[in-house]
Structure 1
């Protein structure tokens, strides 16, 4: 079938596959370096406890059959190795069927991780990586030109990501309709980046222009993805520019980068396609069958987008094949942060020697400037932002975090930037306090060198010591 392939998009496929492999590498590296204190056998939310109560049909995973920290590490590092192989172009050196199996491996491994990751893996970009990774299995290699239907499904996914996010904003916080959300967002976003302070201090008219441009990019431009070239390429390029703007303004894990990966499916580069053979019949049948399945499964995400009770970042099947997305349907006006402190004093006093734990990404010391971590994902730092919004977000894991800090647990301390206590002298008590943070002004920055100003709000967790299980806040 001549219509089945699109030879002009061979370079688009190549760029997309390389970029996706790089995102896979970051995702598996994040899992390998952080899993022990989060979901390991002694983690805050241990996998063995999860799989004991959740059946395989609800959370398909290799770890439903057996779990050990060693096996998890093996899977995570194997995912890194496969991602590196895909980056190096190994999929182009093997037969088509072998290339498809090679792309299936990281998808299956990461699905196994996400489905037992619980709260730590509840972010929209996890499902987005899985949905994109599953489609990549059917993109083919150098033996055949890219299949038209798979390119369409990638654009359809990009459409749902952008249009769904646009709708959730318009239906959610009124500041999006008034174009005032970005007067607050750069200050209150989960993890500011090194330039977020400067974005916050842009003039108000520019904030309104940012918000208006966001609406155009998410509510109008996505429809242009399905128009003829070069309009579709221009629409994809505009989305890429918007995502790079977001990369500069904050730390959003690999959300922006995987969106850029998807936009590559609509770009047509001016390069002559290499000679390829006709697509095998079995390949055409498999691709068309899978495409029909995915289009059928799209019913629920579409119904969700059209619903007045639209939800964001929801998976409708345990394989994460077709999902719904969205971000920042509401924007916080005030930033709160949970500050965790410890003391070696036998009796904890309000004016005692309390020392603050420093985290890698979340704001702490007002003088410490935010750093760029994305696309690497600091899971604990992100969840502490949610914990500051409401203790309900931290009820299942915060108590265990405090226990591990009281034990000077080595794996847990690796998630932090710095512990104020030496390895052989853990604190006797831990407490947590809630502070309100705001960006300093230009004048305050010059006078104090601090990018944050913070004010004590209330106690979050009273002084606690190891005398049994620690309750959450």
Structure 2
């Protein structure tokens, strides 16, 4: 079938696969380095407790068959190693079926991690990585020309990402309709980056241009992705430029980079004047064509649910309609906070809490804390605790499942938990009490920055968590994890 092959897109496919493998690598590294405190057998939301109450059919994955911390680590590090090999080009030197198997293994490993990740993995870009990763299984390798149907499925995916985000904004917060959301967004976004302060202080007319341009790039430009060339290439370039703007303005894990990777599937390099020489691909196997066409038919059927969601007046963001996270609906920032509230966590080593108690603040890696600290760039790496702390500042309900277990682990200086933090004010011994207070944060202006050297100004609002000790948490049913015995290796008990 001549129409099936699209050899002119070989460079686009290569870039999509390399970027996607790099983002898989990022996801597996984040899982390997953070899981013990978050979902490990001694973590805040342990996997064994989750799998005991949620059956396999509701959250399929390897950890329903067996769990131990060592096994989880083996899954995460194996995924990281395979991802790195695919970044280096392993997929193009293997036979086609073996290359497809590598991508399928990556998808299955990451699906297993996401499906037991609970609230720590409740972000839209987890499903987006899984959906894109599943499509990548059928992109082929250097043995075959890129399959046109699968390239179209990638275009359809990035269309849903962008168009869904545009619709949820138009239907959601009124500030998107009156073009004022960007007055607040750069300051109140989950994790500002090093340039967010400067974006926030752009003149108001430019903020209005930003908001208007967002509507164009998310509601008009995505349609171009589904049109013939060269329109699709130009639309993809606009998507890439827009996503790079977002990369510069904040930390959104790998959402922006993954959207860029998907958009590249619509780029015909020749339309951009790139000197791309055609490759001599072999004949596409019939079995591969059959699988790609079956995938296309399945995606078309499963697209009913996200399309119905997009046209609904009650559109929701970031929902999977099946346990495999295939053909999902997406969206971001349907509403924008007008003020920034941050939970500040502190401890004391004094035996009795009084009005004169000296409290020392814990430092987080990414979220605002020390007002003089410049916001850091972490994306595409995902600091899961820091992101959930942002939600905790919006409403205590978001933190209810894990905040007291978090406090319990601080009270014993749990090493796995402390690795998620930038600064532990009690290196020589655990605190006797911890507490949390809610603060209002705002960016300083130019004059304040020059005078004080502070990027933020903060004002205490109210007590978020009254001072607690281990006895109080034990009475509430939140006991700290037992210390790891030498040689135990963190096995699930």
TM-score (norm 2): 0.95
2:31 maps to what in 1? 31
- SS in structure 2 at match of 1:57: helix
CA–CA distance in structure 1, aligned partners of residues 408 and 441 of structure 2: 26
- Per-residue CA deviation, residues 66-110 of structure 1 (Å, 9 max, x unaligned), is 100000000000001001110111111111111100111111100
Q: Distance in 2 between matches of 1:219 and 1:416?
A: 39
Q: CA deviation at 1:269?
A: 1.0
Determine the C-alpha separation between the residues in 2 that align with 1:154 and 1:299. 17
Aligned match of 2:461 in 448, 457, 462? Answer: 457
SS in 2 for 1:340: strand
1:105-154 Cα offsets, whole Å, 9 max, x none, are 11110000000000000000000000000000000001110111100000
1:267 matched to 2:262: no
Q: Are residue 405 (structure 1) and residue 410 (structure 2) matched?
A: yes
1:471 Cα deviation after fit: 5.0
Residue 304 of structure 1 aligns to a residue whose secondary structure is helix
- Residue aligning to 1:111: 111
CA distance in 1, matches of 2:361, 2:120: 24
Q: What's the offset of the Cα at 1:321?
A: 0.9
Compare 117-126 and 92-101 and name the one that shifted more. 92-101
Q: Quick one: distance in 1 between partners of 2:369 and 2:59? A: 36
CA offsets, 1:360-395, max 9 Å, x none? 001011111100000000000000000010000000
2:57 aligned counterpart, secondary structure: coil
Name the counterpart of 2:449: 445
Instruction: Write the deviation string for residues 19-38 of structure 1: whole angstroms up to 9, x where unpaired.
Output: 11110111100000000000
Give the aligned partner of residue 322 of structure 2: 317
Instruction: Kindly state the Cα deviation for residue 425 of structure 1 after the two structures are TM-superposed.
Output: 1.1
Q: Take 1:323 and 1:471, find their aligned partners in 2: how far apart are those partners?
A: 38
Question: Paired residue for 1:430?
Answer: 434
Q: CA–CA distance in 2 between the matches of 1:220 and 1:418?
A: 45
Distance in 1, matches of 2:263 and 2:435, equals 46
Q: How far apart, CA to CA, are the structure 1 residues paired with 2:160 and 2:328?
A: 9
The offset of 1:470, in angstroms, is 7.0
- Distance in 2 separating the partners of 1:66 and 1:402: 29
Aligned to 1:151: 151
Assess, with a 3 A threshold, how the Cα gap between structure 1 residues 167 and 432 changes in structure 2: closer, same or farther: same
Tell me by how many angstroms 1:291 deviates.
1.2
CA distance, structure 1, for counterparts of residue 238 and residue 281 of structure 2: 31
- Alignment deviations for residues 404-424 of structure 1 (CA, whole Å, 9 cap, x no partner): 0000000000000010001x4
Segment of structure 1 superposing worse, 154-163 or 271-280: 271-280
Q: Measure, in 2, the Cα distance between the counterparts of 1:409 and 1:94.
A: 44
Determine the C-alpha separation between the residues in 2 that align with 1:183 and 1:372: 21
* Equivalence for 2:224: 224
Report the equivalent of 1:193: 193
